[in-house]
Amino acid sequence: MGQGTLLFRASLGDVLRAERMRQSMTLRELSSSARVSLGYISEIERGQKEASSELLSALCEALDVPLSSVLREVSDYVEAEELALEIIEAPIVPSGVVASAA
């Protein structure tokens, strides 16, 4: 895998944090409601730890958002990043140079 590899947990963390902040919920409140340690949720939000499927479901339940919505948002995030990577990684062709068959 190249340096540009997109990681699910990074986008998942962004989406979960954005949802929590949209609801003006503190890490402490989410931790208490989801019964998951505050430090663990914080690491997940920063994309540093993988969330197990059970934990992800518990966080969605505590945030009162369907798992499908969270996954759709993550998919949108990842898609935007894939497009950005394509632009960055596209070979730069000098203008005026035309490929010729050898």
Backbone angles phi, psi at 17, to 5 degrees: -65, -45
Q: Count helices and strands (H / E) in the chain.
A: 5, 0
Residue 9 touches its own copies, criterion: CB under 8 A: yes
Pick between residue 10 and residue 38 the one whose CB is nearest to its own copies. 10
Distance CA 37, CA 94 (A): 53
Examine residue 1 and tell whether it contacts its own copies (CB under 8 A).
yes
Residue with structure tokens 């035309």?
Answer: 98
Q: Give the total of residues touching its own copies (CB under 8 A).
A: 27
State which of positions 68-87 bind its own copies (CB under 8 A): 68-69, 71-72, 74-76, 78-79, 82
Q: 38, 31 in Cβ contact below 8 A? A: yes
Give the Cα separation of 92 and 88 in Å (integer).
9
16-55: contacts with its own copies (CB under 8 A): 50, 52-54
- Which is closer to its own copies, CB of 10 or CB of 25? 10
Which residues contribute to the site for its own copies (CB under 8 A)?
1, 5-10, 50, 52-54, 56-58, 61, 66-69, 71-72, 74-76, 78-79, 82
